[in-house]
Structure 1
Amino acid sequence: MIKKLVPFLGEYKKATILTPIMVVFEVVLELMIPLLMARIVDYGIQGEGGMSYTIRMGLLMILMAIVALIFGALSGKFAAEAGMGFAKNIRSGLFEKIQGYSFANVDKFTTASLVTRLTTDVTNTQNAFMMIIRMAIRAPIMLIGATIMAVSINAQLSLIFLISIPVLSLTLFFIGKNAHPRFLAMLEKYDGLNEKVQDFIVNIRVVKAFVREDHEESRFIENAKQVRDAQLNAEKLVILNMPIMQLTIYTSVVAILWFGGNMVIDGTFNIGQMSSFIMYIMQVLISLMMISMIFIMMIISRASFSRIIEGLEEKPTLDDEGTDPNLQLNDGTIEFKNVSFSYTNDPENVVLNQIDLSIKSGETIGIIGGTGSSKTTLVQLIPRLYDILSGEVVVGGHNVKDYRLNVLRDNVAMVLQNNVLFSGTIKDNLKWGNEHATDEEVKAAAKAAQAHDFITSFPNGYDTDLGQGGVNVSGGQKQRLTIARALLKNPKVMILDDSTSAVDTATDAKIRTVFKDSFDDVTTLIIAQRVSSISDADRIIVLDDGEIKGFDTHENLMRSNEIYQEIYESQSKGVSIDG
């Protein structure tokens, strides 16, 4: 599974290769130290070597330990560099992939799940990778080398620790088989917790306005409890590894000390050999413990690997395949030819049914209807935010599927219902529409959107910091800023999705007047709840339950369309309709 992530090593391949090389040198030196210790005891202290031999070998041991320490430090440095770089590349690759997702792809994963994959899952993968290139190299080499050295010293005594290997293998097999699905379930609970946190923070003003802090706290505690329960369910298997490992190791050491001590007493085993043998056995058992830790980490990280790969391999439902790279959008004509649409791609569950309409370039079209009439869904098909179930959407004389997505969307400006602003200054936010716009162009767009006056009323004017999400401006000011941002794109088609609902009627009228006088070559679609906001449009679409029930001028609809008449009369009497 991790092979699919190897390409993300990128420029950190050198550090990845150097890490195990440093580890090999470190392990080789560590394997030599017990051998020198045995020589010091048996030949230097008890034999003919004497003090001079003991001092020379002792200094050599110190030198080897220092050099091993240096190699160990270098392996840690390279592992950190490779691991963090690897994680950075995965995050960048996954984020780039998410950027290409359609709305349908994002709906499939949910925002909270994508955040978890970019953070927790990548961190788990980084930790596992660092362990693989360092500990997964060190442990097998140490295990093999120490085993060979121990067997060469006393093959009979070595049988004791060899018995422990099957016990540990069976333990790891049991844990690995049962732990993975539990960790996968735990990460899904993390998704739910992140979703709850995100929902609370984004809507904290609403929570405080309705004094619902206690309610939200109880919901959060419940989500946190679910995460804790999922963690306990997964960890209670993993924690079996350490006590079983320690029991096996300590039992082996006690047995070796018992039988080895008797051999020393009988004179069949030297004290120096005994001490070096014990050190090699400890190296073997420590290596087995490291291998078990690697195994456990891989179990924990396997769920994260699969979730990252799932995100990377997700095929966007919208792409540029089959488009004409040279095709440009020349005008704002719009046609819907027998269009039906379903969010689930189910012909039995459509939200738009057999839509037919034709809009000339430069027309101003109003769209009105009750909640659930699919007004927003209709306009989202124009910049191809979703693909239709059947029929054809034509913009500028060509099917929207013939355009590259960036060409189509660069020419269709859409001001969404949720007025999204970003951290930064007003000018920075407006330049999202055109990063190369001059200060004069920015001001012109702001004036057209009736935003210039309130912007200049701030001490810092266009350099005023909006705060996170535009918390420093009102709802109506947000709407005007997003309209100005859209105007800076110089689009062929402008879509205003209930984008003046928070401004007063006078400002709304001024914005419509500017659009009519200064942007008469731009096709403008205005979704509105107020009839007054669209009454002077060239034509008005009346939607009801995903079907067009009227498409005409205000005057004609007032004469012939019952739904439109009902909406108008309700608003004229001051009755708020649900729309």
Structure 2
Amino acid sequence: MLFRLLRARLRPYRKEIALIVIFQFLQTLATLYLPTLNADIIDRGVVVGDIGYIIDVGAGMLGITVLQIVAQVIAVYYSARVAMGVGRDTRAAIFTTVQKFSAREVGQFGAPTLITRTTNDVQQVQILTLLTFTMMVSAPIMCFGGIILALRQDVPLSGLLLIIVPVLVAVVSAVVTRMRPLFRSMQERIDRVNQVMREQIAGIRVIRAFVRDERERDRYGLANEELADVALRAGRLMALMFPTVMLVINLSSVAVLWVGGHRIDSGSMQVGALVAFLSYLMQILMSIMMATFMFIMIPRAEVSAERITEVLETESSVIIPASPIREVTQHGTLDLRRVGFRYPGADAPVLHDIELTARPGEVTAIIGSTGSGKTTLLNLVPRLFDATDGTVLVDGVDVRELDPDLLSRTVGVVPQRPYLFSGTVASNLRYGNPDASDDELWQALDVAQARDFVERMDGGLDAPIAQGGTNVSGGQRQRLAIARLLVHAPEVYLFDDSFSALDYATDAALRAALTQHTADATVVIVAQRVSTIRDADRIIVLDDGRVCGTGTHAELMDTNDTYREIVLSQLTEQEAAL
């Protein structure tokens, strides 16, 4: 999974990778050649006393060292560029994929894990990419080149490598195999910490209201402790690896000096050859050490790559049509024909055989008890979900065949919990229509009964809005969301219980102004409050996901027990008859 992800992300960087390989190769060759020159200086220069030879070879070594430095700088520069590019491209790919998700896929993953996968997981892959090009390109060349050159210096002494290298590889492998499950657990614990933190930030008012600060501290402390526990276990393994590797390296050096000293004493080996052999041994073992860094990162990066790939390979349940319809002959019509919807894995459908017709100039209301499927029904129209049965038609065309841009221009929705973005009042109102003038914004605010409080805000249209609209009240947030939809000016307006936070006077004034502003549009209102929908041209009553009544307020009061029960739970008999 890791290498498949890297192969896909590295494809645009072929030229940079070629340069990295070339300069890493040059740098490694220079590193391998220097001990041989050093041995020549000792054996042919120092022992013989040829000063000229020492100067000539020393100058050559200096030139090779400069080449080594230049090649390394260039290789690291391009390695960093490629690694940063891979991180940038992967984050962009995740973001683009998530943007295509329907509410179903977003709910399937959850916001905390999607954030972790876009940040922490991508960072692990990015670090591995950097280490791959700065270490793993040169490590194999240095290891095998060091072995060959060590054999040239002394074959019998090279027999020690048959013991040293397998021992070092065994130590590294034993530790790395135990790290992988720990790193997977660590990423899951990071998800949990992010989830708890996100809940506490979003629910700070509820926490304060119920004075549950201590409980939330304990909950976060538990999640944090679980993460720390896994991180400590992984850290202990890493702490064990390096001393063990260094022990093997130091014992190897002692063994080489002991055996090599005896061979020099017997006349079978020269001093310079022993010095060169010791240098090659260090290069071989250091190349294994560099590989060790990689082996430490690979398990965590592999887990991260799996989590990233899981997001990238998840297909949205809302599929963009291959040949979308971009022109329609009807305008503002909405029809639902035998529509049903079932959540994945649910035992029963949420909606059954829904029939609904809405036309321009009409107000269609949907009412029902909690859990009857009102919000789910409304979400099918702008394709936040796709119906699992039946057909949703906008302007006479199945929404699954409409161009997404055309559907967005035609259908606008104010969700049950409206969301405002960080910025200003104006930037939020222009979200669906960036070219709207200030006059159009104020007109929309007038209709939404929001002009007064916006004028009182410091800066008016330029007043700052915090992320989520947390610096305005729930009623103000609803009115700004309604104004944003009015600026967008779609043909079909969908209001999902969008007046629930308004007082009765503001609700009545807003609906009166809205009736005039949307006189030629199709309006569908989902509401719990009977006073909000009693004057609708058509009221649809939902019960347990089924339409159990359709008609005007007066008709349903006479013929529908479910509607009558809802009305009388809010109004007296006399008030309901007015």
Q: The TM-score by the shorter chain falls in which range?
A: over 0.9
Q: Aligned partners of 2:323, 2:30: CA distance in 1, in Å?
A: 61
1:146-225 to 2 correspondences below 5 Å = 146-225=146-225
Aligned to 1:401: 400
In structure 1, the partner of 2:84 is 84
SS of the equivalent of 2:72 reads helix
Residue 128 of structure 1, CA deviation: 0.7
Normalising by the residue count of structure 1, what TM-score does the alignment of the two structures yield? 0.94
Contact 1:20/1:134, CA 8 A, preserved across alignment: no
How far apart are the structure 2 equivalents of 1:31 and 1:10? 31
| C-alpha displacement of 1:182 | 3.7
Q: What is the CA-CA distance between 1:328 and the residue it aligns to?
A: 3.4
CA contact (8 A) 1:329 1:411 kept: no
Note if 1:386 corresponds to 2:385. yes
Structure 1 residue 239 displacement after superposition:
5.1
The 3-state SS of whatever aligns with 1:393 is strand
Change in CA separation of 1:212 and 1:559 when aligned onto 2, cut-off 3 Å: same
Q: CA deviation at 1:533?
A: 1.1
Residues 79 and 133, structure 1, Cα contact 8 Å, conserved in 2: yes
CA contact (8 A) 1:31 1:142 kept: yes
Secondary structure of the corresponding residue to residue 495 of structure 2: strand
- Counterpart of 2:96 in structure 1: which amino acid? E
In the TM superposition, what whole-angstrom CA distance separates every residue of 1:177-236 from its partner, at most 9, and x where no partner exists? 554344223222222221111111122232223222111111111111222333345555
* Local SS of the residue matching 1:65: helix
Given that 1:433 and 1:487 are in contact with CA atoms closer than 8 Å, whether structure 2 keeps it comes out as: no
- Aligned letter for 1:19? I
Counterpart residue number, 1:30: 31
> Which whole-Å deviations, capped at 9, do the CAs of 1:399-434 have from their partners, x for residues lacking one?
222212332233111111112111111111111021
Q: Does 1:521 align with 2:555?
A: no
Stretch moving more, 329-338 or 252-261: 329-338
Task: Give distance in 2, aligned partners of 1:6 and 1:236.
Answer: 32
2:448 is matched by which residue type in structure 1? A
Match of 1:138 in 2: 138
Unaligned runs of 5+ in 2: 574-578
CA shift for structure 1 position 174 = 4.3
- The verdict on how the C-alpha distance between 1:355 and 1:222 changes in structure 2, with shifts beyond 3 A counting, is same
Given that 2:132 and 2:294 are in contact with CA atoms closer than 8 Å, whether structure 1 keeps it comes out as: yes
Where does residue 67 of structure 2 map in the other structure?
67
AA matched with 1:18: L
Aligned to 1:29, the other structure's residue is in SS state: helix
Shift of 1:372: 1.1
Cα distance in 2 for residues equivalent to 1:456 and 1:14: 57
TM-score, normalising length from structure 2? Answer: 0.94
160-169 vs 21-30, greater mean Cα deviation: 160-169
Q: Is the 8 A contact 1:476 1:503 kept in 2?
A: yes
> Corresponding residue for 1:292?
292
- The residue aligned with 2:105 is 105
* CA distance in 1 between partners of 2:53 and 2:165 (Å): 38
Q: Distance in 1 between matches of 2:54 and 2:260?
A: 24
1:337: which partner in 2?
A: 337
Structure 2: distance between partners of 1:329 and 1:153: 86
Count of residues in Structure 1 that have an aligned counterpart in Structure 2: 572
Counterpart-to-counterpart distance in 2, 1:478 and 1:140: 61
AA partner of residue 91 (structure 2): R
Taking a change above 3 Å as real, the CA distance of residues 315 and 451 of structure 1, as seen in their structure-2 partners, is same
The reply on whether 1:6 has 2:15 as its aligned counterpart is no
Q: Is contact 1:122–1:308 with CA below 8 Å preserved after alignment?
A: yes
- In the TM superposition, 1:212-361 aligns within 5 A as 212-234=212-234, 240-321=240-321, 323-328=323-328, 330-344=330-344, 346=346, 348-361=347-360
- Partner SS for 2:58: helix
Q: Distance in 2 between matches of 1:170 and 1:255?
A: 19
1:505 aligns with 2:508: no
**Aligned residue type for 2:299:** I
Deviation of the 1:115 alpha carbon: 0.7
Post-superposition offset of 1:141: 0.8
Partner of 2:531: 532
- Residue 384 of structure 2 aligns to a residue in which SS? coil
Task: In structure 1, give the amino acid aligned to 2:434.
Answer: E
Write the distance in 1 (CA, Å) between the matches of 2:206 and 2:188. 27
AA matched with 2:79:
A
Query: Matched residues in 1 for 2:414 and 2:37: separation?
Result: 76
Deviations 1:83-126 (A, max 9, x none): 11111011111111111111111122111111111001100000
State the Cα distance separating 1:377 from its structure 2 match. 0.5
Matching residue's letter, 1:368: I
Moved more, 548-557 or 7-16: 7-16
Q: Which residue of structure 1 lines up, in the alignment, with residue 576 of structure 2?
A: none
d(CA) in 2 for partners of 1:313, 1:344? 18
- 2:435 corresponds in structure 1 to 436
**Partner SS state of residue 331, structure 1:** coil
% same residue:
37
| Structure 2 partner of 1:577 | none
CA–CA distance in 1 between the matches of 2:572 and 2:254?
A: 93
Q: How far is 1:55 from its partner?
A: 3.4
Between the aligned partners of 1:327 and 1:228, the Cα distance in structure 2 is 57
CA separation of 1:105/1:244 partners in 2, compared to 1, >3 Å: closer, same or farther?
same
Summarize the alignment of residues 418-497 of structure 1 with structure 2, pairs less than 5 Å apart: 418-497=417-496
Counterpart for residue 124 of structure 1: 124
Structure 1: distance between partners of 2:22 and 2:197: 44
| Alignment map for 1:522-561 (pairs within 5 Å) | 522-561=521-560
Q: Distance in 2 between matches of 1:374 and 1:535?
A: 20
Task: Decide whether aligned partners of structure 1 residues 368 and 87 sit closer, same or farther in structure 2, where only a CA change above 3 A counts.
Answer: same
- Letter matched to residue 528 of structure 2: Q
Cα deviation, residue 245, structure 1: 2.5
Hey, what does 2:567 align to over in structure 1?
Answer: 568
Contact 1:329–1:407 under 8 Å retained in 2: no
Structure 1 distance, partners of 2:458, 2:222, is 45
* Aligned partner letter, 2:428: N
Whether the aligned pair in 1 keeps the contact of 2:5 and 2:305 (CA below 8 Å) is no
Aligned alpha-carbon RMSD (Å): 2.1
Farther-moved stretch of structure 1 (564-573 vs 213-222): 564-573
